[in-house]
């Protein structure tokens, strides 16, 4: 037994964690274990990958093939995106979709049907999955694709580990000429300005806005929009051009211990947001940056989750349709600003259409998506219950991979009720939500 938690350090649980890499041993484990959940690198925030019995995929860490002509890679499910980047970037390829951290596994990417800053243009990871091998409750391995075992293929993508253990994944990559991003950062004075900018710049491949969610009145929702395109060789400065396919550095700064509970309070969050917004003096900045700070600014700090203290934090990410979305966002930001429960990290993105080849549990729906981090407290949970009502009123939903607290009623109202899964694969979350 060991104490296990995911990225939010909330909730924590005593669990028996089994790590295996031989397929026959995994099959025996699957057949003989009553209820368990597969777990990758624990980068979901809440309880999706928690159960008294956990199967860790981290020993499934082999690269199986890399077709450098067509840009197709096959790996075992426990390989991290950071490891994949190390192999593909020097050959002129990039991940077609990437989340805000590179420290997740391929299996976790499939199970959460991850999205990136390019969903409005390129969709979720589902669109780039050629096939995967799935071990189902009998221990049998199913090759799943758009043409083989289609039902399992669809229900596993975004299926939160509830259909079986993904063993291998085959993924289509994106061709790049350089590993740099041509970035444009635009300051927006309030929520109306930022939503107008999203529309104006929707042709950009990547877009994400950082929002100061403690600002009020005419400044409600003031933000910085960060747009990006993969840079071509002619975009690079002399120093960058020396190594156009440069990799991310392995250097990281550790947060060595849990911060005390008082370290993050309304005042410190206000000060951070003020400084962040005002550090950009010009209305617009254009520059060329490496993919690492553009896509993964938080990865430089290992264990940054400890900043929230030992009681942990929760990430609240919702999506609401564009229709009346502006009104919904204003209501939510006003409630947050009035509550004084600040969030260091508040990022707004837009989603394009969902994908027919993904589970009904898959999160993206066409519209706006806002993600906010909150230190766990009874006051925050009361606020989030309030926000749930607004999200539901506007036809929205919460992202399961970030969630640790929504009620079963909220879940069923927003996602419906029909999901293919096996009772062998259960998480604290699937039990809480009665999936």
Residues that bind ligand FAD (CB under 6 A): 6-7, 37-44, 48-49, 57, 77, 99-101, 104-105, 107-108, 111-112, 114-116, 160-161, 165-166, 298, 401, 427
Q: Please name which of 58, 69, 72, 173 lies closest in space to residue 107, comparing C-alpha atoms.
A: 58
Q: Please say which residue, 44 or 186, places its beta carbon nearer to ligand FAD.
A: 44
Quote the least distance from Cβ 357 to ligand FAD, whole Å. Answer: 16
Quote the least distance from Cβ 179 to ligand FAD, whole Å. Answer: 19
Quote the least distance from Cβ 176 to ligand FAD, whole Å. Answer: 19
Quote the least distance from Cβ 409 to ligand FAD, whole Å. Answer: 21
Q: What is the distance between the alpha carbons of residues 61 and 80, in angstroms, rounded to a whole number?
A: 8
CA distances from 221 to 43, 215, 397 (A): 27, 7, 21
Quote the least distance from Cβ 35 to ligand FAD, whole Å. Answer: 13
Contacts of 156 (CB under 8 A, 6+ apart): 110, 111, 132, 134, 144, 163, 164, 166, 359
Q: Please say which residue, 117 or 240, places its beta carbon nearer to ligand FAD.
A: 117
What is the enclosing helix (H) or strand (E) of 290?
Answer: strand 284-290
Q: Please say which residue, 223 or 339, places its beta carbon nearer to ligand FAD.
A: 223
Q: Please say which residue, 105 or 126, places its beta carbon nearer to ligand FAD.
A: 105
Cα dihedral across residues 339, 344, 350, 353: positive or negative: negative
Q: What is the distance between the alpha carbons of residues 140 and 143, in angstroms, rounded to a whole number?
A: 10
How far is Cα of residue 149 from the mean position of the Cα atoms in its chain?
A: 27
Quote the least distance from Cβ 210 to ligand FAD, whole Å. Answer: 13
Beta strands in 89-137 (DSSP E): 93-94, 129-135
Quote the least distance from Cβ 320 to ligand FAD, whole Å. Answer: 17
Q: Please say which residue, 286 or 408, places its beta carbon nearer to ligand FAD.
A: 408
Q: Please say which residue, 76 or 212, places its beta carbon nearer to ligand FAD.
A: 76
Q: Are β-strands 301-302 and 253-254 bridged in parallel, bridged antiparallel, or unpaired?
A: parallel
Q: What is the distance between the alpha carbons of residues 201 and 195, in angstroms, rounded to a whole number?
A: 10
CB 253 within 8 A of CB 300: yes
Q: Please name which of 160, 112, 108, 96 lies closest in space to residue 295, comparing C-alpha atoms.
A: 96
Q: Please say which residue, 40 or 96, places its beta carbon nearer to ligand FAD.
A: 40
């Amino acid at each position: 037994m060991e104490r296990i938690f995911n990225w939010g350090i909330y909730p924590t649980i005593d669990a028996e964690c089994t790590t295996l890499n031989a397929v026959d041993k995994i099959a025996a484990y699957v057949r003989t274990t009553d209820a368990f959940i597969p777990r990758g690198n624990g980068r979901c925030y809440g309880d999706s990958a928690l159960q008294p019995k956990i199967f860790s995929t981290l020993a499934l860490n082999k690269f199986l093939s890399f077709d450098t002509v067509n840009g197709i890679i096959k790996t075992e499910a426990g390989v991290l995106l950071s490891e994949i980047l190390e192999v593909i970037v020097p050959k002129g390829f990039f991940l077609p979709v990437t989340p805000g951290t590179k420290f997740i596994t391929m299996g976790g990417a499939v199970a959460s049907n991850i999205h990136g800053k390019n969903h409005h243009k390129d969709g979720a990871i589902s669109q780039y999955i050629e096939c995967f091998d799935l071990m189902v409750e009998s221990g049998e391995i199913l090759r799943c694709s758009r043409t083989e075992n289609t039902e399992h293929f669809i229900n596993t993508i975004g299926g939160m580990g509830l259909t079986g253990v993904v063993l291998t994944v085959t993924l289509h990559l994106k061709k790049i000429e350089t590993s740099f991003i041509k970035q444009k950062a635009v300051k927006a004075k309030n929520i109306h300005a930022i939503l107008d900018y999203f529309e104006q710049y929707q042709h950009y491949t990547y877009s994400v806005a950082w929002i100061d969610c403690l600002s009020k009145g005419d400044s409600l929702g003031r933000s910085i929009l960060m747009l990006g395109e993969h840079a071509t060789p002619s975009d690079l400065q002399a120093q960058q051009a020396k190594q156009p396919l440069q990799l991310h550095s392995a250097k990281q700064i550790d947060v060595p211990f849990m911060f005390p509970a008082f370290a993050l309070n309304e005042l410190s969050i206000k000060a951070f947001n003020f400084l962040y917004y005002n550090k950009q003096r010009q209305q617009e900045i254009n520059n060329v940056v490496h993919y690492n700070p553009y896509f993964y600014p938080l990865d430089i700090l290992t264990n940054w989750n400890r900043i929230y203290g030992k009681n942990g934090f929760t990430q609240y990410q919702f999506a609401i349709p564009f229709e009346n979305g502006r009104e919904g966002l204003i209501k939510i930001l006003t409630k947050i600003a009035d509550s004084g429960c600040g969030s260091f990290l508040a990022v707004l993105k837009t989603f394009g259409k969902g994908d027919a080849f993904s589970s009904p549990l898959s999160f993206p729906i066409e519209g706006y998506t806002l993600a906010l981090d909150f230190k766990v407290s009874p006051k925050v949970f009361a606020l989030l219950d309030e926000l749930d009502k607004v999200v539901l009123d506007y036809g929205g939903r919460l992202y399961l991979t970030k969630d640790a607290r929504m009620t079963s009623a909220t879940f069923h109202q927003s996602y419906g009720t029909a999901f293919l899964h096996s009772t062998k694969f259960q998480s604290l979350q699937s039990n809480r939500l009665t999936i």
